């Protein structure tokens, strides 16, 4: 039977996880999914050219997750393309995209279902918390209370109006959209034709998706009713530098795709911030070579 929002009474929820090499992070994510209160669930892990692909595939078998490998030859990470591969190979009525370093509280998927059951024409952008770096993930309980006790909220943007199950705020704030843990009804993400695969490396694909959501007459629900807890890991200066280069490239691509955004203040600020990071790294690297 199909309900008023186009969902069956007991919809299948597909969780799509892009991953690359960090088997320890992926295992924590899969453990948290194995303990979900909502049981109509299937997990699709898409491996973005891991050097340890055999370990990722073995882990997926252990947790009854579907394993797919990105066949593309690009040397860059391709999270947008990988998400699409997962989408095309999934069958869920609700699609949850969750990064490999995200741990979910035990009723997270059930809460995704409840919100999508009652709301039409929306995408859920869920609140992300950062787990403190000294925490031993293997000893954690996956209740919301236990995870919150060792974490801090990632977003401190006062312009975001967070929604719960009884106070829903539909938003047009596409810039704040974060895709590390989000969900769509299948027919909505298919109507949007998935993620833009031309985004490679780090950054930009979430802002672009948020913008297309608004252009297509949908709303974003920023919800603290559903939380994801991101496992801390150190980002070394060289990795930050490589990220900065891909962010600049992706911003330029987004402005070519949507020329009306070229002078958008947030994009200008982001471009200046990342350019400054890139220049500082190159200056420091140059100074260290002279010594």
What's the pLDDT band for 1 if we cut at 50, 70, 90?
Answer: very low
205 contacts 199 by C-beta, under 8 angstroms? yes
Mean pLDDT throughout 63-87? 89
Helix (H, G, I), strand (E, B) or coil at 6: coil
Cα distance between residue 92 and residue 84, in whole Å: 14
* Alpha helices (runs of H) in the chain, residue ranges in sequence order: 23-34, 53-62, 79-88, 108-118, 144-148, 186-191, 205-215, 237-257, 265-290
Helix (H, G, I), strand (E, B) or coil at 92: coil
Mean pLDDT throughout 108-129? 96
12-48 CB burial, b ≥16 within 10 A, e <16: bbbbbbbbbbbeebbbbbbbbbeebebebbbbbbbbb
What's the pLDDT band for 289 if we cut at 50, 70, 90?
Answer: low
18 contacts 48 by C-beta, under 8 angstroms? yes
Domain extents for the chain?
13-230, 237-290
Q: Give me the phi and psi of 197, to 5 degrees please.
A: -75, -5
Query: Is the CATH number 3.90.550.10 carried by domain 13-230?
Result: yes
Is the pTM higher than 0.95? The answer reads no
- Asked whether residue 11 carries a pLDDT value surpassing 80, the answer given is yes
240 contacts 276 by C-beta, under 8 angstroms? no
Instruction: Supply the pLDDT for residue 259.
Output: 96
- Asked whether residue 237 carries a pLDDT value surpassing 80, the answer given is no
Lowest model confidence (mean pLDDT) among 130-134, 196-200, 287-291: 287-291
Q: What is the pLDDT of residues 12-34, one digit of tens each?
A: 999 999 998 889 899 999 999 99
Lowest model confidence (mean pLDDT) among 36-40, 106-110, 136-140: 136-140
- Asked whether residue 287 carries a pLDDT value surpassing 70, the answer given is no
State what percent of residues in the chain have pLDDT above 70.
96
């Amino acid at each position: 039977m199909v309900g008023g929002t186009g969902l069956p009474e007991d919809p299948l929820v597909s969780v799509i996880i892009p991953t690359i090499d960090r088997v320890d992070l992926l295992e924590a994510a899969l453990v948290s999914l194995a303990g979900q209160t909502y049981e109509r669930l299937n997990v699709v892990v898409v491996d973005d050219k891991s050097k340890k692909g055999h370990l990722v595939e073995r882990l997926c078998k252990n947790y009854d997750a579907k394993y797919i490998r990105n066949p593309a030859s690009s040397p860059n990470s391709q999270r947008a393309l990988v998400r699409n591969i997962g989408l095309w190979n999934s069958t869920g009525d609700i699609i949850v995209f969750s990064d490999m370093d995200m741990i979910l509280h035990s009723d997270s998927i059930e809460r995704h279902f409840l919100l999508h059951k009652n709301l039409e024409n929306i995408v859920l952008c869920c609140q992300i918390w950062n787990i403190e770096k000294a925490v031993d993930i293997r000893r954690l309980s996956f209740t919301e209370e236990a995870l919150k006790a060792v974490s801090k909220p990632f977003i401190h943007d006062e312009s975001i109006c967070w929604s719960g199950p009884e106070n829903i705020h539909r938003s047009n704030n596409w810039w704040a959209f974060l895709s590390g843990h989000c969900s769509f009804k299948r027919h909505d993400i298919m109507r949007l034709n998935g993620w833009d695969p031309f985004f490679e490396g780090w950054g930009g694909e979430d802002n672009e998706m948020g913008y297309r959501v608004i252009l297509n007459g949908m709303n974003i629900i920023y919800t603290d009713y559903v939380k994801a807890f991101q496992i801390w890991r150190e980002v070394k200066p060289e990795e930050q530098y490589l990220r900065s280069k891909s962010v600049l490239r992706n911003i330029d691509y987004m402005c070519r795709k949507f020329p009306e955004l070229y002078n958008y203040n947030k994009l200008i600020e982001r471009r200046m911030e990342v350019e400054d990071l890139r220049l500082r790294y190159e200056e420091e690297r140059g100074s260290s070579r002279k010594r």
